[in-house]
């Protein structure tokens, strides 16, 4: 049986690449505006680019599954679902990993690898990483012990706090510039 310190984290393999790409492009645009125009104009434009980076972070980096011998924690955009293994009836792989709950209902995880729908002839013999991830979760579920408990859902407070800061910055920026100006 895995030890309590053995935690697995399942996330899209390209999540950090997309975030780095969005961050580098945004940083380039802000620096370019600061050099060509003024630092103040760059400061007023920066929250819009930060909002784009926040969106990439929210859709690419945040969705994940963290699992250990006690529970699986599913991060889906703005929600976090804590699933003690005793609350889970089964784990299966459809397109994404799904947790069937003993109390009824299904939790679909956005994080982790997705099943390959179209395998090329060359890659047909290769292992599907989504299958391996689902089997690792099924092994952890098989060792579940204890009294049945319920799943807990909560909001992703750091993501919402970051959105609130960005929204306040955008509101400040719009107040300073007189609002959104449409050409024409």
For residue 138, what pLDDT is reported?
Answer: 83
Range of the domain at 95: 86-154
Phi-psi region of 127 (alpha: psi -120 to 50; beta: other; left: phi over 0): beta
Evaluate whether residue 16 is within a structural domain.
no
Lowest model confidence (mean pLDDT) among 12-21, 66-75, 133-142:
133-142
Number of domains composing the chain:
1
* Other CB atoms within 10 A of residue 164 CB: 10
For the chain, what percent of residues have pLDDT higher than 70?
A: 86
pTM of the model: 0.82
pLDDT mean over 118-130: 59
Evaluate whether residue 30 is within a structural domain.
no
User: CA–CA separation, 137 vs 90, rounded Å?
Assistant: 10
For residue 45, what pLDDT is reported?
Answer: 94
Evaluate whether residue 67 is within a structural domain.
no
* pLDDT score of 65 more than 50: yes
Strands (E), 51-131: 64-67, 71-76, 79-84, 88-93, 97-101, 106-108
User: CA–CA separation, 39 vs 33, rounded Å?
Assistant: 7
For residue 58, what pLDDT is reported?
Answer: 95
Strands (E), the chain: 8-11, 64-67, 71-76, 79-84, 88-93, 97-101, 106-108, 152-155
pLDDT in tens, 77-96: 999 999 998 888 888 888 88
Nearest Cα residue to 6 out of 139, 166, 147:
139
Evaluate whether residue 160 is within a structural domain.
no
pLDDT in tens, 29-47: 999 999 999 999 999 999 9
Query: Residues near 148 by Cβ (< 8 Å), separated by ≥ 6?
Result: 86, 87, 102
* pLDDT score of 140 more than 70: yes
Evaluate whether residue 47 is within a structural domain.
no
């Amino acid at each position: 049986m895995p030890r309590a310190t053995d935690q697995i984290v399942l996330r899209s393999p390209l999540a950090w690449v997309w975030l780095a790409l969005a961050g580098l492009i945004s940083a380039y645009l802000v620096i370019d505006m600061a050099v060509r125009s003024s630092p103040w104009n760059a400061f007023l434009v920066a929250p819009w680019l930060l909002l784009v980076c926040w969106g990439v972070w929210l859709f690419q980096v945040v969705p994940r599954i963290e699992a250990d011998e006690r529970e699986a924690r599913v991060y889906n955009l703005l929600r976090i679902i804590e699933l003690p293994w005793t609350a889970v009836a089964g784990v299966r792989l459809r397109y994404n990993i799904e947790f069937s709950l003993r109390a009824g209902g299904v939790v679909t995880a956005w994080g982790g690898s997705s099943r390959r729908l179209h395998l090329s002839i060359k890659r047909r013999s290769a292992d599907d990483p989504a299958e391996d991830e689902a089997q690792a979760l099924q092994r952890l579920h098989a060792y579940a012990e204890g009294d049945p408990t319920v799943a807990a859902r909560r909001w992703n407070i750091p993501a919402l706090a970051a959105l609130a800061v960005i929204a306040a910055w955008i509101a400040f920026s719009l107040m300073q510039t007189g609002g959104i100006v449409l050409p024409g």
